[in-house]
Structure 1
Amino acid sequence: MWQAGTAAILVGSLWLLLRQLGPMRHDRLTCLAFGLIWTRFALAALGPTAVQTEVAGQSLIAFATLLAVFAVAAATPLSVYRSDRAVPIYVIAALGVVGTVLSGAVGSLPGYVTIWVLFAALALLLNRAYALHGPGPVLRALLAVFALPLAMQLLSLAAGMPKFGPDGSASYIGGYGHESVFAIVALGGLWVAAILPWRDRRLAWLAVAVGVAALVLANYRTMLIAALPLLLAFALSGDRGLAARRLPGVLAVSAAGLILLPAMLPAGVFGGVTARFAELGTLAVEWDRFLKPPETFTAADKNVLSARVYIWSSYAAAVGEARLAPLLLGHGAETLAPRMSVHPHNEYLRVAFQHGLLGAAALFGFVIALAVAASRAAPRRAGVMTAAGFASLLLAAAGTSIFDRPEGMIVLAILTATAWNLTASRAPRPRAA
């Protein structure tokens, strides 16, 4: 059933995407950009098959992603890359390359370069698509792409095939290997559903509700928290704005939904969600208990937030103890802190450790600048929703790594292209070649 269902979803999602690309079918570069996103989502949906199958010494998902990224990048004219808006991207990527080479971690350069080529190509091509075709067709095509992972999640739910965590909680994530990977994709899909100019506001609420349900079923605490700015912006940004007198009604419906949620979720999901959020209370009440060197953490200390506090402390100590060159340029892409076998589960610490304070300032300065510019742009609703999308990413970055994986960079590229389009001067649209 699983193999047949996966095949049906892949075929169906590709057909749906091609239908949405119909008005843009003569624009080869736009079709390539959407094809790249769909390819990555489809490869991730294959689950263990894509990870365990080897091609040229690499997993199928890694090899096919690299091949697809550089095929699209090579097919894109150089004139697209000459955009002044892309200069910060090149600076950030170059800082990472320099720091990685100086630290001797050159073996991680292929993966690092692939990630940034993916981001640059997608951001520039989607920005071009916005300029040529307008936001409506582009956002509808994006919604079709994000339907693939959501359909895979529905398949895992229907087949009763969750992924069980160490605490016994269940996560429904389709064929995706980890909750964090699926959850960042679901967050991107939620943003598309929230910003899309639906003709009927009720359809917008339904689409957003589906996105929230996907995050809950993924059972990933970080992304549930990260979705809050996006949900708040959506609730307050109706066609005429949400009047203050309607806000109590929205809050009442939300509270009722939270009360009824345990009865609607499969066994194991809600218990995992509540247990994980309870740990946040422990951290808030006993925060001073964790202000100590990582080597002094007890076993009980390490268990809080799935060992995140201990991991954060270890990476923060490693950054603080670094010599000047690694402090500024980092220890290199994919490098782990001493005595650590996992990534920091915090993007601020990961970037500061791997790419130095200069790399962190450049990357997060770029993201924050885009968010601020989008918040001031017109149309007002689209600008606020885009700024909220960036805020959700920055909030998610506090609890997991985002910008070192293709799925996270795809979502960032979509937001970046949208912000560029919103802040562009409104000249007449060029015609597609």
Structure 2
Amino acid sequence: MFTLVKIVFALLSAFLVYRAISRQCNKYLAFVVVALWLRFTLSAFHNVTYDPLFAGFSINALASIGIAFAGLLLLPRKVIALRSLLWLYIFLACIVVSGIVNMRTMGLINVMVKWTVFLVIAGALFMAIRKTGKDLALRKVLVAFFLPVSLQIMSVLLGEVKATEADGSASYIGGYNHEAAFSMIIASFTLVVGLLSSKAIRYRAALFALGCVLVVLANYRTSILAILPMTAMFAFSLIEAKVANKHKPVFYVLSLFGIGLAFLALSYTMQDRFGDIFVFLSSWQDLIKAPEYYSEAEKDIFSARVYIWSLYIHAYLLADPINQIFGMGPEAWNGVFKKYAHNTYVSYLYEYGVVGLLAFLTAVGSFLIQAFKTKDRKFAWLLFSSMIGFLIMNLATMPLWNIEGLLLYALLIGVTISPVNGVRKTALKTSGVSTNLARN
């Protein structure tokens, strides 16, 4: 029954995407929209697209490779060579070195394909925003989210629910395979809506609220935590715009109390899902120990994440000095541990060593600084809080291991490195808008 719903909405979404890219859409923006839509559509039919099809590659994997190569052919070399991406390339160089040192050829190829997808999406969005402006580009990007958002709403209406693997609680994920990857798609939708200007789209506040509700219904804790900073900043900026200047000092004080009360209310209403987080925060010093010293009760804390982190860190500390510097190699955890680390920073320490982790932290730090330096201060805070939320997500899962998570971060970075306040003069001429965009 729900498969039929998927097919109907997939066809409808294809039509909407076609309309979106055929009107006022340059080739770079069209590439971003189609790439996102293709990934979301293929993932919706995971029963078919996840199985190996050719040479061990699934349809999803082949699509990712196709997106990566198509993007490299599309983008000008000057985009790939942007100075703002320097530290990211240094991090990628660390991955290559780790792969060569440890002779992890297949792991290196898999990881580099994923990061190439990230680079081409971020680069194409950079070019799209440069030509059309931020708001037009992000409005077009929203069309790609029609399918997952619609399917999740339909899953609620039709009672299509999945019990989460960790605790059996209900997750509405629109018939997708796993709540982790799906929640990243919905978080991306929510953040894109939040980054649009208030006058760029109708019902912006309602769409943002819908996105927040859908993230909660997806019921993946780390994604819920990831959107909290953006949600707080979005609500703050929305209300602040309506407050007179003379009342703003009082408003700022009340806002702090309001955010605190909202956090306590959320903690209370969702204590069954977030109780382990408070247990971890209150006793983290007692949990820093070798994995063999964990009791059965301690192994269950935070869905066993703390215990998993201990396994990785302990293995890293017992490794040879060369491995501590350069890591065990890309995806070296596979075949050694039953589960991936559920923490990007812990995983990168194990896979790429201290050098790779420091390069990664420097890269994400440089993007944070770029976001904060955006000239439009309200937008800068929204973008900065979005990126903080994404980095929080990485503390308890690995969005950069999933294509969906990489797409989320690519959208944030594409906006961050773009001239969000500027549009090419040729695109501003009323009489030449359609002509100039059509040529691209």
Same fold, TM-score > 0.5, yes or no: yes
Deviation at 1:99, TM superposition (A): 0.5
**Does the CA-based 8 Å contact 1:119-1:410 persist in structure 2?**
yes
* 1:344 aligns with one of 337, 341, 344: 341
Between 54-63 and 382-391, report the one with greater CA deviation. Answer: 54-63
Letter in 2 for 1:305: F
- % identical aligned pairs: 26
Rounded to whole Å, the distance in 2 between the matches of 1:9 and 1:44 is: 14
Unaligned stretches of 5+ in structure 2? Answer: 428-435
Rounded to whole Å, the distance in 2 between the matches of 1:21 and 1:64 is: 20
**2:275 corresponds to which residue?**
278
Once the two structures are superposed, what CA deviation does each residue of 1:368-399 show, in whole Å capped at 9, x if it has no partner?
22112211211112211111111011111101
Rounded to whole Å, the distance in 2 between the matches of 1:175 and 1:259 is: 30
Letter in 2 for 1:315: Y
Task: Flag the 1:244–1:213 CA change in 2: closer, same or farther, 3 A.
Answer: farther
Between 30-39 and 234-243, report the one with greater CA deviation. Answer: 234-243
**Does the CA-based 8 Å contact 2:326-2:353 persist in structure 1?**
yes
Say if 2:314 is the partner of 1:313.
no
Once the two structures are superposed, what CA deviation does each residue of 1:142-184 show, in whole Å capped at 9, x if it has no partner?
2222232211212222232211124221111123222111112
Rounded to whole Å, the distance in 1 between the matches of 2:343 and 2:122 is: 24
Between 15-24 and 212-221, report the one with greater CA deviation. Answer: 15-24
Q: How does 1:68-217 map to 2 (within 5 A)?
A: 68-166=67-165, 167-199=167-199, 203-217=203-217
**Does the CA-based 8 Å contact 1:20-1:140 persist in structure 2?**
no
SS at match of 2:198: coil
Q: What is the aligned length?
A: 423
**Does the CA-based 8 Å contact 1:374-1:422 persist in structure 2?**
no
Letter in 2 for 1:280: I
Say if 2:420 is the partner of 1:408.
no
Rounded to whole Å, the distance in 1 between the matches of 2:259 and 2:353 is: 45
Unaligned stretches of 5+ in structure 1? Answer: 263-269
**2:323 corresponds to which residue?**
326
Q: How does 1:279-298 map to 2 (within 5 A)?
A: 279-298=276-295
Letter in 1 for 2:360: L
Deviation at 1:296, TM superposition (A): 1.1
Rounded to whole Å, the distance in 2 between the matches of 1:408 and 1:286 is: 30
Note the aligned Cα RMSD (angstroms).
3.0
Rounded to whole Å, the distance in 1 between the matches of 2:334 and 2:293 is: 17
**Does the CA-based 8 Å contact 1:226-1:393 persist in structure 2?**
yes
**Does the CA-based 8 Å contact 1:36-1:72 persist in structure 2?**
no
Deviation at 1:234, TM superposition (A): 0.8
Rounded to whole Å, the distance in 2 between the matches of 1:315 and 1:241 is: 49
**Does the CA-based 8 Å contact 1:374-1:423 persist in structure 2?**
no
Between 279-288 and 305-314, report the one with greater CA deviation. Answer: 279-288
Task: Flag the 1:291–1:40 CA change in 2: closer, same or farther, 3 A.
Answer: same
SS at match of 1:67: helix
Moved over 6 A (4+): 249-262, 423-427
Q: How does 1:205-284 map to 2 (within 5 A)?
A: 205-238=205-238, 240=241, 243=248, 245=250, 248=254, 273-284=270-281
Q: Which has the higher contact order (CA 8 A, sep 6+)?
A: 2
**2:431 corresponds to which residue?**
none
Q: How does 1:40-79 map to 2 (within 5 A)?
A: 40-52=39-51, 54-79=53-78
Rounded to whole Å, the distance in 2 between the matches of 1:362 and 1:426 is: 33
